[in-house]
Structure 1
């Protein structure tokens, strides 16, 4: 969810889907040998990553898991609350996207300053990698602008869907990312993964039946069909941008997460500002871009920024099963939170759909479980 304004921020669950997509390459899990099946190079590399993950202390991994779960669930509830509460002045979501990108740039620069041990070294590094290598920077232009549109659409979705429904529906980005990985990168999905995607689609559809069959929301301006359409388009954009980003960066010189976000900010900040001015010029010209901003809105903006960092840390120190578990628990927490905060009453359709979505998330990345089995069977020296 989080994951949402960069490949590192695909909503809190967006990055895990990209990792899963890369795991589903045309390389088979097993390669034939004379005696018994041997592991392919792809699986061996993944086994090394799994081994590295296991070297992380259990307390650290548990802490990351708890934090990622908290971040996912709070992000969804906070986003919904910021748009559904009764206030005299409702903030402009387009302005929130702009300030999110601006704050993210500032945070990345601060981190780079810490890494480079000085302001002068930091800006010389930015000039060299961002402006001194214009072709590499231009590669992120299209994804950056697509993510700006996507973030605006997610705000629309949160305005018209209950928090739990919003979070379940946003898992469609797993579906779209997988489809685009097949179309653009020519990756091959296993039968299990295709079944998982079908289960995910059915689960989301059942959840939407709960929305459309329900009576009109407590919030008179809520329109579930508009919310679902916004999340659907955002998921399509998320899937395309993520795979497009992966394709164009293959063979590029390695760039740190922080520097890559600075590159994207070069395009995301102007495009989000332009989108805000075009979409809400009438209000901005009279009230300014901070119209309706309060502590809740600023907290939402800040929470958007730290979402990407949370996912990046999880990728480094945890595994896909941990990310999927965090997403699943976050869906449950969001449902419980919606009941108490927004008087949301889930029916049997919502419960069945949610169970299918959670099951599909684990099923799609079940190759991680197979890898753990292979690790136990294959002698370490053969890796």
Structure 2
């Protein structure tokens, strides 16, 4: 059983690191463009994630109270490539979206993932969502949008991006939701060590990153100086941020659920708004505070509902496999 401290730490880390993605990515732009290769950011972050996970697995193996569970199943290992691929595509698309939109608009539109994740949770994981929970999801989205209405009306810090940016954000919401639900199926599919599961995910993530880098640079990809051309402190911090937000996400998915991750991402929108007020001279509005209150109430109401699957952190591995294999009507479903 994982302690509540670990769970709270994972959620807080998820909120902080998620909110940092838009702000750091925006900070790396010069005259509205990236002066470095965004593909390499993902490759280096996957390399760091793999190294950290392997190190933590070795520590667990050497000093843990019990031996970490490791299942060497080729088919299960191959399944790790599915969420890894979706995350790889989604993370790279983020650079285009943030180039076309400002950080606040980026975080506002992240709320689309709340609904897409809930829909996929219901139809891919065969988990019931109560009517009240559906209403709270819509209320949460409404509260999030309301919090930014002042900025949109004033034309300052609002949705001033391009059609490309908005369109890609909608597509990316579906990509991210699909990745996170597949990731939950993978992470909760058995009782393997989280660090071993992460190693499998990040192995494929690194393969995709290396493949994209070689495709872009050719054999010059062996030149580290070329790969890091244009890097500065902000880019290095962005690489580290992507690395550790991935690890935090895995902890949330393993011990809680993807809806918790989605709500953490929603909270990140408010973090970005507050930082914008403090550091970017955004004017606080009544809509912002009303929206934050509405979102807080919807989260509290949602968390009081206990019929959204097993209690977070207590879902046994077998139940996930059963949920993916058998529907509510008792008929066999096709496992992914």
When the two structures are superposed, what TM-score results if normalisation uses the length of structure 1? 0.62
Q: Quote the offset at 1:239 in angstroms.
A: 1.5
Selected match of 1:261 from 198, 205, 213: 198
**Equivalent residue, structure 2, for 1:158:** 98
Q: Equivalents in 1 of 2:228, 2:110: separation in Å? A: 28
Q: Equivalents in 2 of 1:183, 1:176: separation in Å? A: 11
Q: Quote the offset at 1:114 in angstroms.
A: 1.5
- The 5 A counterparts of 1:5-84 are 69-83=15-29
**Equivalent residue, structure 2, for 1:223:** 161
Selected match of 2:243 from 302, 305, 323: 305
Q: Is the 8 A contact 2:117 2:259 kept in 1?
A: no
Q: Which runs of 5+ in 2 are unaligned?
A: 312-336
Q: Equivalents in 2 of 1:345, 1:226: separation in Å? A: 28
Q: Equivalents in 1 of 2:257, 2:81: separation in Å? A: 30
Q: Is the 8 A contact 1:77 1:337 kept in 2?
A: no
- 1:106 and 2:46 equivalent? no
Q: Equivalents in 2 of 1:325, 1:97: separation in Å? A: 24
Mark the CA change 1:342 to 1:187 in structure 2 (over 3 Å): closer, same or farther.
Answer: same
Q: Which runs of 5+ in 1 are unaligned?
A: 1-48, 373-383
Mark the CA change 1:141 to 1:324 in structure 2 (over 3 Å): closer, same or farther.
Answer: closer
Q: Is the 8 A contact 1:172 1:235 kept in 2?
A: yes
Bigger Rg over Cα: 1
- 1:176 and 2:116 equivalent? yes
**Equivalent residue, structure 1, for 2:176:** 238
Selected match of 2:42 from 70, 83, 97: 97
Mark the CA change 1:273 to 1:223 in structure 2 (over 3 Å): closer, same or farther.
Answer: farther
Q: Is the 8 A contact 1:324 1:362 kept in 2?
A: no
Mark the CA change 1:258 to 1:175 in structure 2 (over 3 Å): closer, same or farther.
Answer: same
- The 5 A counterparts of 1:333-352 are 333-345=271-283
Selected match of 1:117 from 34, 58, 62: 62
Report the number of matched residues. 305
Q: Quote the offset at 1:357 in angstroms.
A: 4.6
